[in-house]
Amino acid sequence: MAQPTSTFDSYDAIGNREDLSDIIYNISPTMTPFMSGLKKVSAKATNHEWQTDSLASPDVGNAVLEGDDATTTASVPTVRLGNQTQISDKVPRVTGTQRKNSSAGRGDEMDYQVTKAGRELKRDVESILLSNQAKVVGNSTTARKLAGVESWIATNTSAGVGGSDPTGDGTDARTDGTQRALTEADVKTVLAACADEGGEPDTIMVGSFNKQAFSAFTGNATRNIDSTDQALNTAVHVYVSDFGNLQVKFNRFQRARSALILDMNMWSFATLRDFQSTDLAKTGDTDRKQILVEYTLECNQEKASGIVADLTTA
């Protein structure tokens, strides 16, 4: 059916207002389960240091003669460790004109950009804390870098062929090996090693592919339907091991090839300068703000945690 002659329709109109929603949709996730679960402490210098110690192995031959003179037990000094503080920032810049324009979905453009930059910075920090990077002392031309989680864990590990562990003091990264499938046997081996060292892991963090692989372990082979809401439960969120219960968490910001088995009480987030927003000097018809944090990762005892490394991710 043809449109009647001389009908004025929306295709002819010039003055129709645009239909732009006043909501900005953002799918990018901002959850940071590792950083959010860490103890918060203060750093006092760019080289943030702490001490670790451990008890001597049990001596089954500890028997002394009645009335004998006491023999002095040799003392072992504490171990002094440290990590460099790293500065991370985001700097949004908006023109004076744009700040006066009427924008859909936000009031002041600078306020919106600062909020967005803050969320992006939080994602950066989570990824850096969970990384395999070694610490870098830095100088006037090289930025300081902190040692991430994977460069600390050296004792309780399972690696693929060719993979090797770091020293355990943050000075070097682990060497990646041949990737292989995540197995419950490897998880149990690392958990037992942690327990033997005195650790009490409470969290397992994995990427999306290995979160589903974990849920396919034989210990969860029976699937149940909740009669109340008719939901089919196929995921493992709590792993009941021989050494305690562990939360199994998906973390999109860690290396997908690693399953981190963490005693969260043995890690801390240390800040020399906490998250802050500062107005920068004007150099023209623009406004700039710097969102910045200076921080590091404190590994109170790497022997309390473990890693199943070199996992397939697809």
Q: How many residues does the chain have?
A: 314
Q: What is the C-alpha to C-alpha distance for residues 6 and 10, in angstroms, rounded to an integer?
A: 13
Burial code (b: 16+ CB inside 10 Å, e: under 16) for 6-31 equals eeeeeeeeeeeeeeeeeeeeeeeeee
Classified by CATH at the fold level, domain 33-48+80-308 comes out as phage-related protein like fold (3.90.1690)
pLDDT of the chain, 314 residues: tens digit per residue:
787 776 666 677 766 666 556 555 665 667 899 999 999 999 999 999 999 998 888 989 999 999 999 999 989 999 999 999 999 999 999 998 888 887 766 778 888 889 999 999 999 999 999 999 999 999 999 999 999 999 999 999 999 999 999 999 999 999 999 999 999 999 999 999 999 999 999 999 999 999 999 998 876 544 555 556 666 567 888 999 999 999 999 999 999 999 999 999 999 999 999 999 999 999 999 999 999 999 999 999 999 999 999 999 99
Instruction: Say how many CA atoms lie within 13 Å of 307 toward its Cβ.
Output: 29
Q: Which helix (H) or strand (E) holds 113?
A: helix 109-129
Q: Looking at 219-263, list the stretches that DSSP marks H as alpha helix, in order from N- to C-terminal side.
A: none
Tokens encoding 12: 């002819």
Tokens encoding 89: 């920032």
Q: What is the pLDDT of residue 281?
A: 94
Beta bridge partners of 244: 241
Q: What is the pLDDT of residue 201?
A: 97
Q: What is the pLDDT of residue 31?
A: 86
Supply the DSSP symbol for 311. B
